[in-house]
Structure 1
Amino acid sequence: MRILVVSPDLYEHHRGLLTQMHRLRAQVFGSRLGWDVEITADEERDEYDRLGPTYLLEIDATDRVADYVRLLPAIGPTMLRQTSPQLLREGRLEVHPGMIESSRFCVDTHLEAGRGGGQLHQATLTMFAGIIEWSMANGYDEIVTATDLRFERILNRSGWALRRLGEPVEIRVGARIVSGRGVGDRQPQ
């Protein structure tokens, strides 16, 4: 597996992989998790995809997208600040130029290769490393995200514990979401 960085200037060149990514998002967030997301032509997209994010795609040996994450500078519009401020203490986040928001992380759970008895999938661990490496190489020392409690447990198992930015919020029956920060953590406000 390899990590591919797709910045806005490379969207057209990697259009087929981005289509796979949007379809994976539809499967994960729409079908599997049952989130209220907009799906058109079997692809999930939202307003943050129009802001020129950088996508990290993990590609398998057959050129299939195994997992993916979207990264946006926190100093601009972000999902956490614009869509989900209820996840933040006092409804706000003190941002700085060294902060990036990670969103829409998802893994193709049908992948068998790299899965070990009860351990995290190798694709997940590789993507975590890719996020940290890309962030450091691009001058970001802090990552913020909003995620469900199940994924927070995955982060904890990987040794990448989030420092919560607020209390978990139930967005629908059975779906509790929490916000957090990690990597080069600054002290909480």
Structure 2
Amino acid sequence: MHVIAIRNPQGASEARILDAMHRLRARIFQGRLAWNVHCIDGREFDEFDGLSPTYIIALSGSETVVGCARLLPALGTTMLNAVFPELIRERHLPAHRAMIESSRFCVDTSTEEGKGQALHEATLSMFAGIIEWSIHNGYSEIATATDVRFERILGRAGWPMERLGDPVMINETRSVAGVLPADCASFQRLRPPSYTSDFIASCKQAA
């Protein structure tokens, strides 16, 4: 799996990758998870896509988008503060300059490439890519909202989340917010053997 980051797409190739990413989000969030999300022509968008986020995207060997996440600085407008404050004990994200928020994480685990291990290779590649990009850009913590099922997946992968509050039922989903470390130890632990990226984090050079 190869992981890239796109903020403002440069050229037709990156525009096509972002289009495929929005299609994947629609398939996962509306199709598989039955979330009440906003889709147009088979593509999922929300207001946070208009805030110039950075997208972390996993590509298969055939250049197919198999995973994605959206990153926004925690000191700016975030989903946790604007949409899910009830998940935070203090009702406000304890943000700082070295914290970034990850949202809209999804992976196409139906793809054959990357199967055959406890966690799909695309999932591990996305974890590693988010961490590596964060380190490379000066972030040490990643805040996110997820469900308790995925929280268990994070722990099983070796990337435990520190909760920011107790779980809350949101639209029939037991949801929870927390913070994940962005450090070299986590990156080395999670990175699958086939992982490559466009980033240059010092911990990868030392591997």
Normalising by structure 2, we get a TM-score of 0.84
State the alpha-carbon separation in 1 of the partners of residues 66 and 144 from structure 2: 20
**AA in 2 matched with 1:180:** G
Higher relative contact order (CA 8 A, sep 6+): 2
Rate the CA distance shift 1:17–1:78 in 2: closer, same or farther, 3 A.
Answer: same
* Map of 2:133 onto structure 1: 134
CA contact (8 A) 1:11 1:18 kept: no
State the alpha-carbon separation in 2 of the partners of residues 178 and 111 from structure 1: 28
State the alpha-carbon separation in 2 of the partners of residues 158 and 11 from structure 1: 35
* Map of 1:178 onto structure 2: 176
What secondary structure is seen at the aligned counterpart in 2 of 1:114?
Answer: coil
State the alpha-carbon separation in 2 of the partners of residues 123 and 64 from structure 1: 11
**Runs of 5+ unmatched residues, structure 1:** none
**AA in 2 matched with 1:8:** N
Deviation at 1:34, TM superposition (A): 1.1
User: Paired residues, what number?
Assistant: 183
Deviation at 1:169, TM superposition (A): 1.0
Q: Deviations over 1:3-32 (max 9, x none)?
A: 111022537651111111001101111111
Rate the CA distance shift 1:23–1:9 in 2: closer, same or farther, 3 A.
Answer: closer
Structure 1 outlier segments of 4+, above 4 Å: none
Rate the CA distance shift 1:7–1:95 in 2: closer, same or farther, 3 A.
Answer: same
Rate the CA distance shift 1:127–1:11 in 2: closer, same or farther, 3 A.
Answer: farther
* Map of 1:148 onto structure 2: 147
Identity of aligned residues (%): 51
State the alpha-carbon separation in 2 of the partners of residues 73 and 168 from structure 1: 24
State the alpha-carbon separation in 1 of the partners of residues 14 and 67 from structure 2: 15
Normalising by structure 1, we get a TM-score of 0.92
**AA in 1 matched with 2:111:** L
* Map of 1:169 onto structure 2: 168
